[in-house]
Amino acid sequence: MADIYRASTTAPVNIAVVKYWGKRDAKLNLPTNSSLSVTLSQADLRTLTTATCSSSYTGEDSLTLNGAPSDISGARTQACLRELRALRVALEKKDSSLPKLSSMPLRIVSENNFPTAAGLASSAAGFAALVRAIADLYELPNSPTELSLIARQGSGSACRSLFGGYVAWQMGSQADGLDSKAVEVAPASHWPEMRALVLVASAAKKGVSSTSGMQQTVATSDLFKERIAHVVPKHMKLMEEAIAARDFAKFAEVTMKDSNSFHSTCADTYPPIYYMNDVSRAAVRAVEAINAAAGKTIAAYTFDAGPNCVVYYLEQDTAAVVGTFYSLLPSTEGWKDQAKSYASGA
């Protein structure tokens, strides 16, 4: 009987509170700024990936994503597979009794438990799960931070999904990218009351991909220069302080300001890019109304490269935030028809 080797893993979605936006090296996915995210609960939004290899397999490596064959010939996926194989080759060289998994074709099967088309950072969970599953299959001893260097090359934000809780992606300064990696700021257990509500304003595929949006921003926005020189370094410092002190009002203010800053740089590109739509803006107003009614900041909105809104809040404020969210929204057909929510423990 043929030998089959298998490993399965899950990786959760992460949503940045200080955004990655801009590449200084597009090939290696090296960012123009550091970023910080909160990893969402595995129960709600995650990718499940199984990697197998066998000496009986023939042909090329393959990936099946949500039941359909997926193209893995792109440079990013190939970079991940190449680096993981190289690490396995090194292990097999050190110990000749190990099976030669590195020379067998890989079959990867991946599934999201949330709508892939909804623009919910699926590539972050996807690449993190792919890297972790193959690293487990190859029995690599590398730490999550070391693996984050590989996941980063698949999709920048994926490097942060190798950790739970609060995660920083340190931009690094080296040209080879070896210091551009994810590190844990605090585990989820540090602030277990943190929750995230995901509001799907539109499930349509995003208009401008993050790669081309970043390229256009770096090339044409003057505001972007200010963002990477001053705004992000300030936000990173304040955010780390807010998390250390579990200061939600401070966490929320920086989260909202950083989202505003990121979307402003997009609007400052030439031609401008608008990821947020009328439903997104209604969600901003709803969060402002919730905070005004509470007399303090209990909810924070943030938007990635699309119109969907993620609202961070604390467990004790669930009724005030989730309970009143819908009633505060304008009763437009659009919102009622399109809005879906996923409450998730972050």
Edge-to-edge strand ranges of the sheet holding 166-170:
14-18, 35-39, 166-170, 181-186
Task: Tell me whether residue 210 or residue 269 sits nearer to ligand PMV (CB atom).
Answer: 210
Task: Tell me whether residue 41 or residue 123 sits nearer to ligand PMV (CB atom).
Answer: 123
Task: Tell me whether residue 119 or residue 144 sits nearer to ligand PMV (CB atom).
Answer: 119
CB of 102 to ligand PMV, least distance (A): 28
Choose among 191, 258, 197, 194: nearest CA to 17: 258
Q: Which residues bind ligand PMV (CB under 6 A)?
A: 16, 19-21, 35, 121, 123-124, 155-157, 210-211, 304-305
**CA–CA dist 150, 283 (Å, integer):** 35
CB of 123 to ligand PMV, least distance (A): 5
Task: Tell me whether residue 49 or residue 153 sits nearer to ligand PMV (CB atom).
Answer: 153
CB of 306 to ligand PMV, least distance (A): 8
CB of 36 to ligand PMV, least distance (A): 8
Q: What angle do CA 154, 134, 38 make, to 5 degrees?
A: 55
Choose among 154, 149, 157: nearest CA to 121: 157
Q: What is the dihedral of CA 236, 148, 65, 302, to 10 degrees?
A: 0
What stretches of the chain adopt beta strand conformation (E)?
Answer: 4-12, 14-18, 23-25, 30-31, 35-39, 46-54, 62-65, 68-70, 106-112, 166-170, 181-186, 194-199, 299-303, 309-314, 341-345
Task: Tell me whether residue 61 or residue 304 sits nearer to ligand PMV (CB atom).
Answer: 304
Task: Tell me whether residue 8 or residue 116 sits nearer to ligand PMV (CB atom).
Answer: 116
Q: 110 near 49, Cβ under 8 Å? A: yes
CB of 85 to ligand PMV, least distance (A): 23
CB of 221 to ligand PMV, least distance (A): 15
Task: Tell me whether residue 232 or residue 329 sits nearer to ligand PMV (CB atom).
Answer: 232
**CA–CA dist 121, 155 (Å, integer):** 10
Task: Tell me whether residue 144 or residue 156 sits nearer to ligand PMV (CB atom).
Answer: 156
CB of 160 to ligand PMV, least distance (A): 7
**CA–CA dist 35, 167 (Å, integer):** 8
**CA–CA dist 346, 197 (Å, integer):** 9
CB of 34 to ligand PMV, least distance (A): 10
Distances in Å between the Cα of 143 and the Cα atoms of 11, 35, 84, 147, 173 are: 15, 20, 13, 6, 21
Task: Tell me whether residue 210 or residue 344 sits nearer to ligand PMV (CB atom).
Answer: 210
DSSP letters spanning 100-124: -GGGSPEEEEEEESS-GGG-S-HHH
CB of 155 to ligand PMV, least distance (A): 4
